[in-house]
Amino acid sequence: MAIEQDVLKEAGFNLHLRAATQMPEDVKMALRDIFQRETKKLPKYVLGKIIENFEIAETKKMSICSDPGIPRFYVKVGNRASIRNGFVGLEQALREATARATREIPLRSNAVQPLSHENPATNVGFFAPDIYYSFEPDADWIEITASHKGGFYGSDYRWLLPGDGIAGMKKFFLDVLSVNGRRGFACLPSVVGIGIGGNKDVSFRLAREAVTLRRVGDRHPDSTVADFEEELKALANSTMFGAMGLWGDITVMDVHIEIAHGHTGGPPMSIHQHCNAVRRATVRIDSENRIEYRDQPEWFTSYYRRQNTAWKAEEDQ
């Protein structure tokens, strides 16, 4: 049975509503824990107001933050899923859902033509909203995640040389945190996503997905990567950039790293920060058009990461 376009339209609208007004449970827990651990008076006061803000937003169905960035969707497609009108129908449904959400929630209309600055007031236009895909074997469902990430927010990229090594990665990480913290480009405490390896566009994509689609507290399945996540988190929290850049104890909620095999000449490294208003919402729709809203996306599956690095072609096995 095919997944119907009307179901996709309604689900897409509700994803925007949930992303705009309901903080994910892992983020709520992390912020409440940070509030308890913060010892400095002013950042502790600010953290209390951040928590109060997301509680009011959820109760009154109001936006957690006035800036939804440029809304985007991540779509994981089961290999056995069937969609009425195909992927063109899916994308049309999500564009219609975005325009409706902009009018009715409302979402601030950020998407403008970059040369004329013409604003269609829908958040829909050239490559807007962004839609990214991944696939999952042996599944007959699709899973859609809506992400609202502030548009004017800290990200950076550097191509490291072989001699830079781990020390160079740490230096770049601290450079980004300090620059964004001082310039007000980071509504701390933030979540940090890092992509290492592949090529420039792969590292940038992985960093964005790591900061958006992984749960606070999640660790990479490769132990060397997981250990580096913990090391960078501790390093970040030694900088004394506290809530909203004030002098405090906690700079980041978490650090998520994704890696890709790349050129031996030196790895690209990209960094994305997500402000304390981590806004995402996920729905899974199965072949019977049953809708299940989920607190966490399952984007980084074993298949998506291609964790079987010892792969051989079938004819060689």
**How sure is the predictor about 315, in pLDDT bands with cuts at 50, 70 and 90?**
very low
Which residue carries 């566009």 as its tokens? 201
- Mean pLDDT computed over every residue of the chain: 93
Q: How many other CB atoms are there within 10 angstroms of residue 300's CB atom?
A: 21
**Which DSSP state fits 69?**
B
- Tens digits of residue pLDDT in 152-187: 667 899 999 989 999 999 999 999 999 887 777 788
- Tens digits of residue pLDDT in 75-108: 999 999 999 999 999 999 999 999 999 999 999 9
Nearest Cα to 190, choosing from 275, 267, 272?
275
Q: Is 85 left (phi over 0), alpha (psi -120 to 50) or beta?
A: left
Q: What residues contact 317, with CB distance under 8 A and at least 6 apart?
A: none
pTM for this entry: 0.93
- Tokens linked to 309: 């690095």
- Tens digits of residue pLDDT in 11-59: 999 999 999 999 999 999 999 999 999 999 999 999 999 999 999 999 9
- Tokens linked to 219: 């660790």
Instruction: Please state, in angstroms and rounded to a whole number, the distance separating the CA atoms of residues 176 and 270.
Output: 10
Identify residue 252 by its one-letter amino acid code.
V
Give the containing element (helix H, strand E) for 226. Answer: helix 223-236
- Tokens linked to 58: 């959820």
Beta strand 190-197 with 252-260 is parallel
Helix (H, G, I), strand (E, B) or coil at 190: strand
Nearest Cα to 305, choosing from 104, 72, 76, 118?
76
- Tokens linked to 262: 């790349």
